[in-house]
Amino acid sequence: MRGHLWQPESPCGTSCMSGHIPTVGRVRRAWRLVTAVATLLTGPFIAIGMPIYSTRTREAIVRWFFRRIARSFGIRVEVHGDHWLREFAEAGRGALVVSNHISWLDIVAVNAVQPMRAQAKKEVADWPIIGRMATAARSVYLDRENLRSLPAAVDELMRAMRGGSLVNVSPEGTTWCGLARGRFRPAMFQAAIDADVPVIPFVIRYRLEDGHDTTAPAFIGDENLVTSLKRTARTRGMVLEVHVLDPIEPSVAKDRRELTEITQNAVREVLSRTQTLPEFEHPTLPVG
């Protein structure tokens, strides 16, 4: 059964979990889960204090929080080109930050580099701790089962960016395994056009220390969050690699569809250039 444009279904499933995944021992994986939970439990206290801090202090705290989550799982964060986000944030310039979508860890990737507002599915607001943090960060929630909510979400994103905010969206609409990719949906690109702000492609790649891409952190199919957390905790040598690309001015495209295509091609070019397949790739791996 296929969803509508903002409730797409990815063909990725457990069969996409390809290649050998090096693991750590039981004691270390248990320690990782304990430290990750301990870090998450500080979230509500951080959210309470946010209103009294300056913008720079808030960003530093949020960046520390999400980098600490990554560190708890033994994940090294490697960033390329983040000067664009810093420059925009410091100048109070709005932009639509567009990222590919693989895992629940994607929110860690974005905010470990530069804290910003985000468009998220409405269910995130009800998640323990993470939902509270997302709401405190003024996330824009979208009911993907109700397309009538889409214009209001686009309008809210437009006003946020026109007011000088960086806003992150994942236009694939759902998670993919990381080796396969989905098609970008154009709806949210209209917000950048209406606000007359650039699109900044944000490329997320998960790999191992040997350089091979890994599907270990992917959150796909019918898998539950606990299973994904456990698999992430037992993976050894994971690297969260981020590439922030040059801004794309909306004026280079004739409409939102062309702007979407330009952005998608920029993201895919980086992934095609950097991707190194694991030693065993499932032969039926879907290609978006």
pLDDT, mean of each 10-residue run, the chain (288 residues): 55 70 94 94 82 87 93 96 93 96 92 89 72 73 71 88 94 84 91 96 95 89 85 95 97 96 96 78 46
pLDDT score for 18: 62
Is residue 132 within 8 A of residue 47, CB to CB? The reply is: yes
User: What pLDDT sits at residue 92?
Assistant: 93
Does this model's pTM top 0.85? yes
Q: Which class would CATH give 21-274?
A: alpha beta
Q: CA 241 to CA 196: how far, in whole Å?
A: 29
**Annotated domain spans of the chain:** 21-274
Q: Which residues lie across from 202 on neighbouring strands?
A: 99, 244
pLDDT at 96 (0 to 100)? 97
From CA 205, how far away is CA 203, in angstroms rounded?
A: 7
